[in-house]
């Protein structure tokens, strides 16, 4: 997991890419997005007093621009027109006299402009770097194992010193000086001209990009509230599996098994492939999922082990007293079978209505879909869609499906969307691996001391390995582990790793090596990048891909054989199938948002019908030909759709980017030098970054090539 890259260009991307799958890896909203703004913090409802986009009405912008051109000359006309427009779009009446401001702060003299740019770069590194450190330190007791938590620690962890930073920079006019003198660009402009931009131009765009939106506190609060409510809804959506009954009244699942939708339901389904009675159980889980999506699930059965439910007939009966779990929550025994009544879609609509309030405050990306793709990922929606459709419609799909059908020995069904059977073979037993890692790393300090050796083992030159290790601090973590970057030079990247009393077990080691990949990228992309305004990587999928490069080599670093060719083929096929699966889910997610923007006054019931329709259409087009199940709404089951909307596209993109980077590294053979060359390029757009890194823009080809090769060698 990667924690907190709050002030780079990805500040606006709503979510972090989770490092692994499963319920524990639910993506978390980035801090900047979830920061709670108390009512007292916000100026008295500016939006209530003025129209959504607030431009000081008295100012004649054309006259103002003409006056500035008269002062500074026609050579400055383009800069003046652009700068004044950029300021005017976000200026509010309480900001004062717009004309006086632009007259005083427009900079025509190139030497002064250059000095101002450099001042901003230096000062922003300090503001953002120290703010980040404060944020890190208030969370320290929550993140790092420093002994028992105090009652106040969660309160401290919820404090986000960066929450009001951008607004403060606007009210002090610093943000407006940036907007008056440096260019905001759209993604389309960056895509068209990005390859030809100088490094300085990139840095100027990133500087201005920090001020591309100015969202009033109460609007941010509404977004946070809707998101928190959706998250609460999703996090309590459990099914008590012992209380699912079939037509004969049999219980197919053991007592006590309480599964959250969709994560645990999906993982239970995956885990039933080896089970001789698995098929009936898997089919039942699919039916449950379909009923959740269509909202035909009886409301009384949600998180309620006091009733039994036959998902096929939808009959609800009182659970016999001796079947009710001891830890059953207090719930009413309602047997009327009344359906959930579209709560799922009411939650999604609430997210939409909150997000829509942001639209007028982000001139460059005036709807949530554009913000997600053009600001968050910096890949246009059309391009992402084309990449996903390339995988979805690939002729490799039926070929991989045939391999799966051969292995399961039957015709494929919708549940095989989650087939988990491509697995590495021949790895040493986990106990043997545990013994090795425990002996080598008895505590976090031992892992810290071993960093240079790990890094030279990966292919970094000894001096570079020592330099990297000097920029990383290792802390014992409370959770499974995470990486946290530094945001100013002189600070340290943090590797948080969990080490048990008996030393670091293999699982912990595997995660720590992944986190080290993040840290090394973070050190290069801050300390070795030429302009600190460009620190970072294009988006989270890139740092995840770079972390996987390290993680995939963890056995070799222990002095063991790397996975053999057969295991490598299994890994490729597994990734292909997962990418194919989640690509369709992502299309449904995006499709739902387009529908909401086209039908802003829709009721939850209408939204339900629309989402079910989009899910069915997507299934029938791409999945039914290989998995059957014509018309199933299964693709609508992901909880992210409700609680972290527009996030799901990051998963398939992450797979594509990881394959592209890995393919290049395997070809080049010089991991240390190439890793440094890639990661020190900084936060440009994904295509410019990838072209510099691998010679080609972001592409699905490397994954498809690897899959083709794996199939050919089977």
Give the whole-angstrom CA distance, residue 140 versus residue 143: 5
Q: How many chain residues touch Zn ion (CB under 5 A)?
A: 4
Q: Examine residue 611 and tell whether it contacts Zn ion (CB under 5 A).
A: no
- In the complex, least distance from residue 548 CB atom to Zn ion, rounded to whole angstroms: 8
Nearest to Zn ion of 350, 547 (CB atom)? 547
Backbone torsions φ then ψ of 473, nearest 5 degrees: -115, 140
Q: Is the dihedral of CA 551, 552, 553, 554 positive or negative?
A: positive
Q: What is the 3-state secondary structure (H, E, C) of 605-630?
A: HHHHHHHHHHHHHHHHHHHHHHHCCC
Beta strand pairing call for 481-484 and 258-260: unpaired
Give the whole-angstrom CA distance, residue 322 versus residue 339: 26
- 192-221 residues near Zn ion, rule: CB under 5 A: none
- In the complex, least distance from residue 516 CB atom to Zn ion, rounded to whole angstroms: 11
Nearest to Zn ion of 545, 635 (CB atom)? 545
- Choose the binding region for Zn ion from 1-9, 178-186, 372-380, 525-533 (rule: CB under 5 A): 1-9
- In the complex, least distance from residue 541 CB atom to Zn ion, rounded to whole angstroms: 10
Among residues 394, 418, 393, 389, the alpha carbon closest in space to that of 404 is found at 418
Binding Zn ion (rule: CB under 5 A), the pick from 3, 11, 12, 19 is: 19
Nearest to Zn ion of 304, 649 (CB atom)? 649
Beta strand pairing call for 472-476 and 493-497: parallel
Q: Is the dihedral of CA 628, 633, 635, 639 positive or negative?
A: negative
Give the whole-angstrom CA distance, residue 589 versus residue 600: 16
- In the complex, least distance from residue 400 CB atom to Zn ion, rounded to whole angstroms: 26
Token pair belonging to 331: 């719930």
Nearest to Zn ion of 3, 11 (CB atom)? 3
- DSSP string for residues in 435-490: HHHHHH-SSHHHHHHTHHHHHHHHT--HHHHHHHHHTEEEEEBSSSEEEE--SSBT
* Binding track, positions 517-546, relative to Zn ion; x by CB under 5 A: ---------------------------x--
Q: Examine residue 3 and tell whether it contacts Zn ion (CB under 5 A).
A: no
Nearest to Zn ion of 29, 311 (CB atom)? 29
* Sequence-separated (6 or more) residues with CB below 8 Å from residue 58: none
- In the complex, least distance from residue 468 CB atom to Zn ion, rounded to whole angstroms: 18
- In the complex, least distance from residue 647 CB atom to Zn ion, rounded to whole angstroms: 15
- Choose the binding region for Zn ion from 16-24, 73-81, 198-206, 624-632 (rule: CB under 5 A): 16-24
Give the whole-angstrom CA distance, residue 222 versus residue 392: 36
- In the complex, least distance from residue 153 CB atom to Zn ion, rounded to whole angstroms: 24
- In the complex, least distance from residue 653 CB atom to Zn ion, rounded to whole angstroms: 15
Nearest to Zn ion of 16, 615 (CB atom)? 16
- Choose the binding region for Zn ion from 17-25, 209-217, 533-541, 683-691 (rule: CB under 5 A): 17-25
* Binding track, positions 144-183, relative to Zn ion; x by CB under 5 A: ----------------------------------------
Nearest to Zn ion of 623, 651 (CB atom)? 651
Helical (H) or strand (E) element with 496: strand 493-497
Nearest to Zn ion of 162, 517 (CB atom)? 517
Nearest to Zn ion of 483, 710 (CB atom)? 483
* Binding track, positions 333-372, relative to Zn ion; x by CB under 5 A: ----------------------------------------
Binding Zn ion (rule: CB under 5 A), the pick from 84, 87, 292, 547 is: 547
- In the complex, least distance from residue 26 CB atom to Zn ion, rounded to whole angstroms: 14
Q: Quick one: 119 exposed, middle or buried, by C-beta within 10 A (0-12, 13-18, 19+)?
A: exposed
Cis peptide before 262 (omega within 30 of 0): yes
- Choose the binding region for Zn ion from 14-22, 53-61, 580-588, 623-631 (rule: CB under 5 A): 14-22
* C-beta separation of 315 from 337 below 8 A: yes
Name the DSSP letter for residue 641.
Answer: H
- In the complex, least distance from residue 593 CB atom to Zn ion, rounded to whole angstroms: 26
Among residues 386, 364, 363, the alpha carbon closest in space to that of 687 is found at 386
Nearest to Zn ion of 19, 252 (CB atom)? 19
Task: Name all contacts of 189-197 with Cβ < 8 Å and 24+ positions apart.
Answer: 190/378, 190/685, 191/380, 191/685, 191/687, 194/684, 194/685, 194/687, 194/688, 195/688, 195/691, 197/688
Nearest to Zn ion of 5, 214 (CB atom)? 5
* C-beta separation of 512 from 447 below 8 A: yes
- In the complex, least distance from residue 514 CB atom to Zn ion, rounded to whole angstroms: 6
Residue nearest to Zn ion (CB): 19
Q: Examine residue 2 and tell whether it contacts Zn ion (CB under 5 A).
A: yes
- In the complex, least distance from residue 705 CB atom to Zn ion, rounded to whole angstroms: 25
Give the CA count within 13 Å in the CB-facing half-sphere of 311: 25
Nearest to Zn ion of 19, 400 (CB atom)? 19
Provide the CA 2 distance to its chain's centre, in angstroms.
Answer: 10
Nearest to Zn ion of 421, 479 (CB atom)? 479
Residue with tokens 């895509």: 191
- In the complex, least distance from residue 444 CB atom to Zn ion, rounded to whole angstroms: 18
Tell me which residues touch Zn ion (CB under 5 A). 2, 19, 544, 547
């Amino acid at each position: 997991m990667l924690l907190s890259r709050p002030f780079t260009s990805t500040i606006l991307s709503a979510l972090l890419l989770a490092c692994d799958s499963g319920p524990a890896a639910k993506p978390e909203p980035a801090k900047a997005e979830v920061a709670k703004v108390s009512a007292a913090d916000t100026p008295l409802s500016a939006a209530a007093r003025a129209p959504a986009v607030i431009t000081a009405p008295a100012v004649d912008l054309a006259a103002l621009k003409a006056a500035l051109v008269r002062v500074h000359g026609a050579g400055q006309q383009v800069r003046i027109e652009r700068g004044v427009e950029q300021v005017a779009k976000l200026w509010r009446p309480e900001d004062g006299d717009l004309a006086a401001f632009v007259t005083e702060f427009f900079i025509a003299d190139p030497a002064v402009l250059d000095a101002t740019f450099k001042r901003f770069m230096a000062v922003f590194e300090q503001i953002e770097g120290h703010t980040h450190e404060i944020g890190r330190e208030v969370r320290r007791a929550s993140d790092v194992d420093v002994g028992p938590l105090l009652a106040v620690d969660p309160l401290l962890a919820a404090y986000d010193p960066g929450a009001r930073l951008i607004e403060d920079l606007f009210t002090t006019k610093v943000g407006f000086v940036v907007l008056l003198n440096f260019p905001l660009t759209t993604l389309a402009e960056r895509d068209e001209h990005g390859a030809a931009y100088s490094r300085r131009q990139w840095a100027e765009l990133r500087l201005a990009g920090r001020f591309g939106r100015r969202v009033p506190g109460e609007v941010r609060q509404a977004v946070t509230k809707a998101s928190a409510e959706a998250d609460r809804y999703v996090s309590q959506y459990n099914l008590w599996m012992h209380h699912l009954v079939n037509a004969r009244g049999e219980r197919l699942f053991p007592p006590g098994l309480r599964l959250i939708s969709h994560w645990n339901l999906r993982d239970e389904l995956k885990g039933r492939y080896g089970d001789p009675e698995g098929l009936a159980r898997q089919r039942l889980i699919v039916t449950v999922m379909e009923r959740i999506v269509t909202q035909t699930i009886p409301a009384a059965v949600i998180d309620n082990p006091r009733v039994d439910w036959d998902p096929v007939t939808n009959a609800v009966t009182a659970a016999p007293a001796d079947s009710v779990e001891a830890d059953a929550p207090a719930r009413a025994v309602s047997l009327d079978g009344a359906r959930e009544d579209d709560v799922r879609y009411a939650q999604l609509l609430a997210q939409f209505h909150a997000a829509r309030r942001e639209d007028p405050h982000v001139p460059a990306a005036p709807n949530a879909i554009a913000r997600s793709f053009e600001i968050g990922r910096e890949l246009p929606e059309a391009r992402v869609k084309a990449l996903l459709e390339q995988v979805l419609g690939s002729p490799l799909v039926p070929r991989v499906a045939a391999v799966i059908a051969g292995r399961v020995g039957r015709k494929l069904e919708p549940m095989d969307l989650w087939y988990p059977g491509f697995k590495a073979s021949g790895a040493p037993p986990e106990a043997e691996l545990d013994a090795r890692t425990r002996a080598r790393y008895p505590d976090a300090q031992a892992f810290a001391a071993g960093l240079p050796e790990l890094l030279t083992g990966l292919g970094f030159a000894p001096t570079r390995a020592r330099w990297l290790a000097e920029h990383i601090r290792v802390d014992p973590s409370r959770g499974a582990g995470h990486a946290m970057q530094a945001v100013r030079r002189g600070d340290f990247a943090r590797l948080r790793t969990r080490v048990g009393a008996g030393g670091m077990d293999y699982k912990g080691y595997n995660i720590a090596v992944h986190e080290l990949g993040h840290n090394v990228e973070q050190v290069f992309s801050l300390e070795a990048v030429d302009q600190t305004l460009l620190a970072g990587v294009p988006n989270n999928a890139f740092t995840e891909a770079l972390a996987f490069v390290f993680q995939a080599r963890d056995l070799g670093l222990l002095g063991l054989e790397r996975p053999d060719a057969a295991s490598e083929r299994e890994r490729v096929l597994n990734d292909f199938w997962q990418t194919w699966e989640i690509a369709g889910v992502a299309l449904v997610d995006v499709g739902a948002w387009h529908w909401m923007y086209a039908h802003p006054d829709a009721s939850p019931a209408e939204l339900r019908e629309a989402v079910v329709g989009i899910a069915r259409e997507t299934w029938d087009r791409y999945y039914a030909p290989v998995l059957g199940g014509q018309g199933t709404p299964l693709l609508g089951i992901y909880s992210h759709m409700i609680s972290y909307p527009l996030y799901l596209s990051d998963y398939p993109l992450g797979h594509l980017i990881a394959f592209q980077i890995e393919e290049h590294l395997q070809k080049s053979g010089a991991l240390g030098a190439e890793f440094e060359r890639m990661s020190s390029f900084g936060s440009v757009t994904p295509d410019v970054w990838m072209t510099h890194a691998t010679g080609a823009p972001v592409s699905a080809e490397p994954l498809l090539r690897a899959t083709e090769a794996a199939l050919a060698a089977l």
